[in-house]
């Protein structure tokens, strides 16, 4: 048996070839919502969790890489239901939006922050599917796994489309027939799920429910789960009733009532509030202090800080809708608290990787905002692991740290149950049993 120091260069080499790894004597928070297990050993073999047991009870095979981790905590990797990989946001970076190199750079940043799976749209389906296969096989390393909707279907084209670079990441069906064909086309291209955005302009443009209901119907027939983004309690209620598996945005036009809660519970649908995404429409106008956070630096594209502190701050500070946006955020906060208290299954979505947000760091901020909304750290960990896995229909493969599941996990130097900010105390991240570069 080969004993090595915790997460040292030798372990990085061994784990990179998907060696058998024994992580010893940790506090295990497995993502199921159960109480943590102190004094636990975890055996990783062939990219999966092989055994979990009390310290000293697992006999490791010869050649096992030993990770002595006494005093540390292990949690599942974050599964982000709403991220983006590949968008160039910096005027100082040359390259192609959604090119392979840019996507892989973003997926590496996600993994370095403990995000081991990200659900992302993107206009290049073949490229994303190739990257997905490369990560699963181990050919592409130091990257979060990717699941993709390929393109997001939306109810309408925004009246003021501010980000033309994202245009190809969307499709806008004009009729129920078009909607059904879009779902079939995405299914044929290998979409892992269907994403639908009921944009806020839809109601003002007189867009009804014909298109989204057609999307739900066809996706259900094809066995694809649908994740919806909507701020409307009414739309969310109707779409969950029609079969949506997850809401990956804050419903915040008003306080949720019993009808929405009942639909969510009856469907076992997942609510992932994306509070950070809701906040960035006004938050930079407050001169947020976390822009100076050292933990943010590795996620920041060059030149972005000046833009956020300059034109973005000024635009938001002078925005005539600023008070309304803040009010909607406060409503989102209250709705999350109410839904969690009612027993609705909570998932995790941050909107990271989109303009004015950052892969990895925004996911950490999302956890902080969920805590401020009243969720406990244990509930948040369950949300970003088994909650998100349930939304995507992958709960039998990943999400919880149980035997047979994929070995996507994070070793922390401090216990996040004591302080949610300890999620940033990363000691090591494994994706498929391989240690990734922090």
Q: Are 321 and 429 members of one domain?
A: no
Q: Structure tokens of 16?
A: 């990179």
Residue 194 has pLDDT above 80, yes or no: yes
Residue 87 and residue 55 share a domain: no
Same domain, 138 and 206: yes
Compute the distance between CA of residue 404 and CA of residue 76 in angstroms, rounded to an integer: 14
CATH number at residue 44: 2.30.40.10
Same domain, 126 and 58: no
117 and 165 in a common domain: yes
Domain of 179, in residue numbers: 78-392
Higher pLDDT, 162 or 46: 46
pLDDT of res. 121: 85
Tens digit of each residue's pLDDT (9 = 90 or more) over 246-263: 999 999 999 999 999 999
With contact defined as beta carbons under 8 Å apart, do 350 and 81 qualify?
no
Pairing of strands 73-76, 65-68: unpaired
The angle at the Cα of 118, spanning 293 to 181, to the nearest 5 degrees, equals 135
- Same domain assignment for residues 25 and 146: no
Distance CA 293, CA 185 (A): 43
Q: CA-to-CA distance for 251 and 335, rounded, in angstroms?
A: 8
Looking at residue 106, its pLDDT comes to 94
Are residues 226 and 343 both part of a single domain?
A: yes
Number of domains forming the structure of the chain: 2
Q: Which of 32-36, 54-58, 207-211, 235-239 has the lowest mean pLDDT?
A: 207-211
What gap in Å lies between CA 377 and CA 33, rounded to an integer?
Answer: 10
Residue 435: HSE in the Cβ half-sphere, 13 Å Cα cutoff: 25
Q: Which of 135-139, 193-197, 301-305: highest mean pLDDT?
A: 193-197
330-334: average pLDDT: 97
Please choose, from the candidates 375, 312, 401, 340, the residue with its C-alpha nearest in 3D space to the C-alpha of residue 116: 401
> Residue 16: what pLDDT?
52
The reported pLDDT for the residue numbered 9 is 37
Per-residue pLDDT tens over the stretch 73-83: 999 999 999 99
Regarding whether 418 and 384 lie in a shared domain, the answer is no
pLDDT at 2 over 60: no
pLDDT for position 177: 96
- Per-residue buried b or exposed e for 60-95, using 16+ beta carbons within 10 Å of the residue's own CB: beeebbbbebeebbbbbbbbbbbbbbbbbbeeeeee
Task: Give me the residues paired with residue 83 across strands.
Answer: 352
Residue 76 pLDDT = 98
Backbone region of residue 274 per phi and psi (left: phi > 0; alpha: psi in -120 to 50; beta: other values) = left
> Chain-wide mean pLDDT for the chain?
91
**Closest to 387 in 3D by CA, of 352, 347, 415:** 347
pLDDT tens digit sequence for 265-284: 999 999 999 999 999 999 99
Quick one: 215 and 101 in the same domain? Answer: yes
Task: Provide the pLDDT for residue 229.
Answer: 95
């Amino acid at each position: 048996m080969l004993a090595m120091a915790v997460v040292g260069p030798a372990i990085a080499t061994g784990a990179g070839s998907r060696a058998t790894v024994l992580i010893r004597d940790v506090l295990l928070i497995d993502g199921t919502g159960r109480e943590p297990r102190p004094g636990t050993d975890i055996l990783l073999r062939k990219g999966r969790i092989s055994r979990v047991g009390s310290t000293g009870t697992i006999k490791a095979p010869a050649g096992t890489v030993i990770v002595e981790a006494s005093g540390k905590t292990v949690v599942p990797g974050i599964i982000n239901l709403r991220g983006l990989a590949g968008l160039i946001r910096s005027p100082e970076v040359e390259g192609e939006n959604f090119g392979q190199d840019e996507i892989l750079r973003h997926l590496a940043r996600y993994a370095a922050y403990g995000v081991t799976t990200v659900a992302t749209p993107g206009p290049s389906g073949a490229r994303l599917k190739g990257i997905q296969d490369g990560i699963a096989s181990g050919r592409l390393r130091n990257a979060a796994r990717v699941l993709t909707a390929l393109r997001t279907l939306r109810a309408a084209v925004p009246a003021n489309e501010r980000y033309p670079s994202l245009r190809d990441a969307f499709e806008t069906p004009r009729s129920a027939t078009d909607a059904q064909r879009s779902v079939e086309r995405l299914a044929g291209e290998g979409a892992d799920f269907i994403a639908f955005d009921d944009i806020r302009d839809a109601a003002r443009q007189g867009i009804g429910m014909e298109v989204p209901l057609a999307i739900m119907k066809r996706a259900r027939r094809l066995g694809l789960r649908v994740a919806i983004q909507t701020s409307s309690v009414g739309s969310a209620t109707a779409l969950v009733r029609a079969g949506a598996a997850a809401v990956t945005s804050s419903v915040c036009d008003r306080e949720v009532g019993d009808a929405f809660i009942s639909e969510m519970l009856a469907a076992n649908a997942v609510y992932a509030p994306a509070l950070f995404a809701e906040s960035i429409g006004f938050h930079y106008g407050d001169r947020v202090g976390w822009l100076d956070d050292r933990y943010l630096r590795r996620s920041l594209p060059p030149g972005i800080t000046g833009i956020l502190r300059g034109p973005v701050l000024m635009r938001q500070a002078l925005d005539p809708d600023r008070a309304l946006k803040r009010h909607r955020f406060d409503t989102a906060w209250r709705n999350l608290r109410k839904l969690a208290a009612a027993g609705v299954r909570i998932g995790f979505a941050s909107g990271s990787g989109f303009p004015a947000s950052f892969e990895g760091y925004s996911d950490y901020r999302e956890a902080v905002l969920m805590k401020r909304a009243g969720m406990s750290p244990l509930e948040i960990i369950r949300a970003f692991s088994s909650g998100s896995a349930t939304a995507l229909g992958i709960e039998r493969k990943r999400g919880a740290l149980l035997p047979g599941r994929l070995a996507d996990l994070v070793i922390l130097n401090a216990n996040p149950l004591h302080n949610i900010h300890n999620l940033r105390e990363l000691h090591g991240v494994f994706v498929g049993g391989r240690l990734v570069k922090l």
